[in-house]
Copies of this chain bind each other. A is one copy, B any other.
């Protein structure tokens, strides 16, 4: 079990879907940051279940409390513990799978690895753990705001419905105006209908979340193993149901020639080094170059469906698993704030690492209170 993430801005999460609480300790947060509780709560609200009829009907207030690390409204450099109590648990919905392994869930692998498992609502393997990530990520976002970094995610695909418009031509703020979190209202409505139809069939469907990061300073990322995009990739792949990650030109870039793909460089009016194109996705040699960072994250259809499926149980019998419990027919609308949270955590960690070993970030930092 590895529930710790980050090298300097380190988070440790805990909690199961139907346990007492889920929460996080953030260790390594600089002192002197204004702790904006309402912003953190608003990020949790973006992730909260029950936002519309296309998300799970589990009802959770998801109000967070701070247990440590904040004094007179500011961070103190000590560990910040944040916690959300679990509320609406219908654990009895899950008693039928105490011994059964649901297909494409973690039931079998957890049991095989650990010998036992908390089967209620998926236990630790449930995406409820991401409450902790969003809370910590919101704190990271507060820090990034101070250095001018902005992270925006949106849904670009549900099933076969794709929004192919380049992000530069979209108003990404529109994403938050609909339940799907797709910035094109027309496509958003189509996606909503598809998800709703899927829900009625008791089925689920996959999707893609795009993420765009602007305002990043040059120099984030640590070669050779902790390249910026490698950490972003790991962070995204650690989110439940993720199957793929690509940044910049991604898999499509494979088909290009170097002469097309290379990002030629120029000096802008302020004499800053810029690139004419940005197939690199803002990262060269694992280090940010100051251009927009953008990437895409593929989510599979969630495994929980309201249909009968063949499977086996812990005693070695073949069984038919029935669909019960509440679930999201499509995970991507609620995944949007989770993707942003993980991106924020990666960036802040590299920002602090950069301060340690490079003059670049220190110069940026000199006016900051922390």
CA distance A115 to B124 in the complex (A): 38
Interface string of A200-239 (1 = CB under 8 A from B): 0001111110000000001101111111011101110110
Whether A355 sits at the interface, judged by CB under 8 Å, is yes
Complex interface residues of chain A between 63 and 120 (CB less than 8 A to chain B): 65-69, 71-72, 74, 76-81, 83, 101, 103-106, 108-110, 112-118
Contacting residue for A25 out of B25, B160, B288, CB 8 A: B25
A106 touching B254, Cβ below 8 Å:
no
Instruction: State how many copies of this chain the complex holds.
Output: 4
Whether A196 sits at the interface, judged by CB under 8 Å, is no
Least Cβ–Cβ distance between A55 and chain B, in angstroms: 15
CA distance A225 to B269 in the complex (A): 43
Provide the residues of chain B in CB contact with A79, threshold 8 Å. 1, 3, 12-15, 124
Give A316's nearest chain B residue, CB to CB.
B271
Least Cβ–Cβ distance between A23 and chain B, in angstroms: 7
A287 touching B109, Cβ below 8 Å:
yes
Complex interface residues of chain A between 243 and 287 (CB less than 8 A to chain B): 243-251, 253-267, 271, 273, 275-276, 279-281, 284-287
A354 touching B113, Cβ below 8 Å:
yes
Whether A4 sits at the interface, judged by CB under 8 Å, is yes
Contacting residue for A237 out of B76, B105, B229, B359, CB 8 A: B229
Contacting residue for A258 out of B114, B203, B227, CB 8 A: B203
Provide the residues of chain B in CB contact with A253, threshold 8 Å. 206, 243, 298, 300-301
Least Cβ–Cβ distance between A302 and chain B, in angstroms: 6
B238 touching A227, Cβ below 8 Å:
yes
Contacting residue for A284 out of B105, B117, B160, B271, CB 8 A: B105
User: By CB atoms of chain B within 10 A, which of A281, A286, A302 has the most?
Assistant: A286
With A68-B15, A103-B262, A273-B108 in contact, is A113–B355 under 8 Å at CB?
Answer: no
Whether A307 sits at the interface, judged by CB under 8 Å, is yes
Which one of A43-51, A174-182, A362-370 is at the B interface? A362-370
Q: For this complex, into which size category does the number of interface residues on chain A fall?
A: 35 or more
Provide the residues of chain B in CB contact with A80, threshold 8 Å. 14
Give A360's nearest chain B residue, CB to CB.
B113
Interface string of A283-298 (1 = CB under 8 A from B): 0111111000000001
Complex interface residues of chain A between 343 and 370 (CB less than 8 A to chain B): 352-360, 362, 365-366, 368-370
Interface string of A124-154 (1 = CB under 8 A from B): 1100010000000000000000000000000
Provide the residues of chain B in CB contact with A276, threshold 8 Å. 310
CA distance A83 to B206 in the complex (A): 38
With A219-B109, A246-B244, A359-B369 in contact, is A25–B12 under 8 Å at CB?
Answer: yes
Provide the residues of chain B in CB contact with A322, threshold 8 Å. none
CA distance A106 to B285 in the complex (A): 5
Complex interface residues of chain A between 15 and 58 (CB less than 8 A to chain B): 15-16, 19-23, 25, 27-32
Provide the residues of chain B in CB contact with A370, threshold 8 Å. 115, 358-359
Whether A5 sits at the interface, judged by CB under 8 Å, is yes
CA distance A289 to B311 in the complex (A): 14
